[in-house]
A and B are shown apart, each in its own frame.
Chain A
Amino acid sequence: MIHYLIRGLLCAGLFCALSPAQAALRVVACEPEWAALTQELAGDKATVYAATTAQQDPHHIQARPSLIAAVRNADLLVCTGAELETGWLPVLLRQAGNAKVQPGQPGNFEAANHVTRLEIPERLDRADGDVHAAGNPHIQTDPRNIARVAEALAARLAQIDPAEASGYQARLQDFSARWQSAIQRWTQQAAPLRGQRIVVQHKAYPYLENWLGLIQVAALEPKPGVEPTSAHLAIVLGQIKARPVRMILRSAYNDGRGADWLSAQAGVPVAVLPFTVGGSPRAKDLFGLFDDTVAVLLKGLQ
């Protein structure tokens, strides 16, 4: 720690100010899936910093000094939006003093603005838990959303870095071609999942359910964002004993105890989804993310 302190103080003094300005576009992605997508579209034209990892809950992130420094230096911020980052991003934006990435600027890209959002609540009341007025923000669980975001993101990259515009467009075309054929493959592989009943830990998968035709019948969290309680788990157990489900879905970053307990009681397997890039050893990039998601779901059916 002292080492970092000294380095920090030296930086403050002189040395870091002398380091040459980077030519590449500096991108800060709020979530790993957008870091991966930006990397696909920008290649070596951008240095991409992921503000969170797959092991972290993107709703609850500390506005750490390292994140302030990253946002301070960013040319482009690529976030989900739809209030997913409302607990930490506004503080970073206000403290970082970077006019380029403020909301409304070209340097502030919100992926959720470019897809059709689901679960827009009809009433807003905190008694309903951590609900998002703009709809469910976990849009990355449907690969067709990734395709739409990719087009918008490529256009944004070209807007703020016009010199490389043709490069971004070429990379988009290459990515889109590969992505569309991958979507076809995943959709075919996942065909047996259509119409299957599932229980989820957090309501994080409406887009995935929509894509694959899964039917979510209950959530382990009594209210969105509230950790599962034993009383609520008992209710869910009663529900799924009356009408069985095929599996329990949770994300890599969730605390697994509630799902494991329910799994043991009900004899239903738990499918731990990577949820984002880095959420499992196979989910090294966006393609791996969906390869693994589909594989984990199909395994849950057996």
Chain B
Amino acid sequence: MLRPQHLARRSAIILASLSLSPLPAFAADSADLQTIRQEFDSLRTQLRQDYENRIADLEQRLKAAEAAVAVARETPGKPAAETAPAKPGSRGNAFNPEIGMVLSGTYANLKRNPEDYRITGFVPGGEIGPGARGFSLGESELMLSANVDQLFYGNLTLAVSPENEVSAEEAFIQTTSLPQGARIKAGRFFSGIGYVNGQHAHTWDFVDSPLVYQAFLGGQYAQDGIQASWIAPTQTFVELGAEAGRGANFPGNTRQNNKPGAQALFAHVGGDVGVSHSWRAGLSWLRHAVQDRSQTDTDLAGSAVDSLFTGRSQLWAADFVWKWAPNGNGERQNLKLQGEYFRRKETGQFAFDTANANLQDAYRASQSGWYLQSVFQFMPAWRIGARYDRLNSGTVDYASNGDFLANPRTRPSKTSVMVDWSPSEFSRLRLQLARDKSREDRADQQIFLQYQMSLGAHGAHSY
């Protein structure tokens, strides 16, 4: 039914073209005439081709629409195919950032009172321990992100604690258009050291972070500062990065200084082995200049004393993760194996019992720890996992202050197993059992039940 119009329009175009063509030809010499003829011919062919393409396209679309209508007619109740292209909204909120939300909650049954939680032989810092007994709200997160302009991307993650405190977990900007695989990030961000450190709590495979993170980084290390990273132009993934930051978080502390309190370097390498295996390995280094970091110790008489440490804290970390999914399709089954090794050296001055004696002397400590964990999805939606954590209190040398302080050599450990169920990629319910031997004297039996849900725009997950 398009045919008559088709012919009519085509004739109109040709007539119009012919009526125009003699005008320039009249004044031109024969060579020009030939060129113009050629141009005219090619123009005519092109027009015809264009026109035929368009007609063919229209015919196809008409057929498609007819088929869709036919299908809709044959299946009452099914809405007709929607064919209007999606248009971006023109309301005032069209440029609003992406908003995502994480809701989580825990029930914990702990044999020992979490208030006396400590890791014997390690200086406490940050947020550590298994959390409160009984029901408690987990951290609720609100994530906002968008491109700022043609150069920058911005991200804010607000964490609302069960105690109704709001904190900026991450608030950073990042370049999007630097050449040669380079990126710069500034603000507050999870440091690139280690493997788990960069991940938000709702993506962890266990309720809590590994013991090495609790002992050496106070749970998770966020940097207030700047990060530069670079991806090498190679087939194998190679990433190099450097950070400078305020260093106010454990193992650093708040200080007034124009120089950055913390520096970090990290390198990651990764790739695939066949289509079913992939891996990533990394090395990192984190250095803090620490000034008057306070800690509470128990002296040999059994009373609590406050002390201060000033000096340098250095952390080395090695991490790897290996993932398996048959044919790279993890829908039904997949396996993840990961491990990290941390070693921290602190050297400087130690002021013992600042309230009374205030005895100053040298301090030198070298401590380490590691964990190994594996998570196996054995059928769609169901995963089981196990983790073993172990720390070594190593050598702690208080010099002359060692006369007053207990200095036990400890090897705290923790064994956790978990099973979780994810009815969709946005929700997860988890049961975790753990035997925690962080305290030297007696083990803690822990049972956790947890839910974790993501709502709204939910950013894709890193490897």
Contacts and interface: CB of A to CB of B under 8 A. Distances in A.
Interface string A34-71: 00000000000000000011011100111111101110
Interface string B332-371: 1000000000000000000000000000000000000000
B271 A213 contact: no
B269 A8 contact: yes
Contact of A126 (B68, B176, B426): B426
Interface string B101-125: 0000000000000000000000000
Contact of B237 (A66, A102, A211, A253): A66
Contacts of A1: 273, 279, 322
Interface stretch (A81-89, A155-163, A230-238, A280-288): A81-89
Contacts of B180: 97
A210 B67 contact: yes
Contacts of B414: none
Interface in A224-247: 225-227
A144 B231 contact: no
A277 interface: no
A16 interface: yes
Interface in A69-98: 69-70, 72-73, 86-91, 94-98
B232 A16 contact: yes
A132 to B, nearest CB: 10
A195 interface: yes
Interface string A1-40: 1001101110110001100000000000000000000000
B330 A102 contact: no
B254 interface: no
A66 B270 contact: yes
A69 B231 contact: yes
Range, interface on chain B: 35 or more
B233 A12 contact: no
Given A16-B232, A209-B71, A210-B71, A63 B328 contact: no
Contacts of B233: 16-17, 72-73
Contact of B236 (A7, A116, A195): A7
A116 B85 contact: yes
B95 to A, nearest CB: 14
Given A72-B181, A87-B460, A65 B278 contact: yes
A22 to B, nearest CB: 10
B463 A56 contact: no
A16 B233 CA distance: 8
B176 A213 contact: no
Nearest to A11: B234
Interface stretch (B74-82, B128-136, B158-166, B295-303): B74-82
B86 A135 contact: yes
Contacts of B424: 126, 129-130, 225-226
Contacts of A211: 64, 67
Q: Which of B84, B237, B275, B380 has the most CB of A within 10 A?
A: B237
Contacts of A144: 60, 64
B268 interface: yes
Contact of B231 (A55, A68, A87, A120): A68
B177 A99 contact: yes
Contacts of A55: 275, 327-329
Given A4-B236, A102-B176, A69 B271 contact: yes
Contacts of B426: 126
Interface in A144-183: 144, 148
A8 B272 CA distance: 12
A95 B176 contact: no
B447 to A, nearest CB: 29
Nearest to A255: B332
A296 interface: no
A52 B238 CA distance: 21
Interface residues of A, number: 67
Interface string B273-303: 1010011110000000000000000000000
Contacts, number: 201
A190 interface: no
Contacts of A17: 232-234
A69 B235 contact: yes
B410 interface: no
A69 B460 contact: no
Contacts of A90: 459-460
B437 interface: no
Given A60-B331, A102-B177, A118-B81, A69 B269 contact: no
B236 A213 contact: no
A95 B238 contact: no
A253 to B, nearest CB: 6
A52 B327 CA distance: 10
B411 interface: no
Contact of A87 (B84, B182, B425): B425
B118 to A, nearest CB: 37
Interface string B194-236: 0000000000000000000000000000000000011111111
B155 to A, nearest CB: 10
B24 interface: no
A114 B237 CA distance: 32
Interface in A184-229: 195, 206, 209-211, 213, 215, 217, 225-227
Nearest to A118: B81
A8 B460 contact: no
A135 B82 CA distance: 9
B409 interface: no
A215 B69 CA distance: 11
A294 interface: no
B178 interface: yes
B459 A11 contact: no
Q: Which of A12, A89, A215, A225 has the most CB of B within 10 A?
A: A12
A61 B381 CA distance: 16
A16 B235 CA distance: 9
Nearest to A52: B328
A97 B327 contact: no
Q: List 6 tightest A-B contacts by C-beta distance, closest first.
A: A65-B270, A65-B237, A8-B269, A55-B327, A99-B177, A69-B237
24 contacts: A1-B273, A16-B234, A17-B234, A53-B327, A55-B327, A57-B329, A62-B328, A65-B270, A65-B280, A66-B235, A66-B278, A69-B235, A89-B460, A91-B462, A96-B231, A99-B176, A116-B61, A117-B85, A130-B424, A148-B57, A195-B74, A210-B64, A215-B71, A217-B75
Interface of B: 57, 60-61, 64, 67-68, 70-71, 74-75, 79, 81-86, 153, 174, 176-183, 229-240, 267-273, 275, 278-281, 322-323, 325, 327-332, 380-381, 423-426, 455, 459-463
Given A17-B234, A65-B237, 7 more contacts: A1-B273, A60-B331, A69-B237, A69-B271, A73-B235, A88-B460, A226-B423
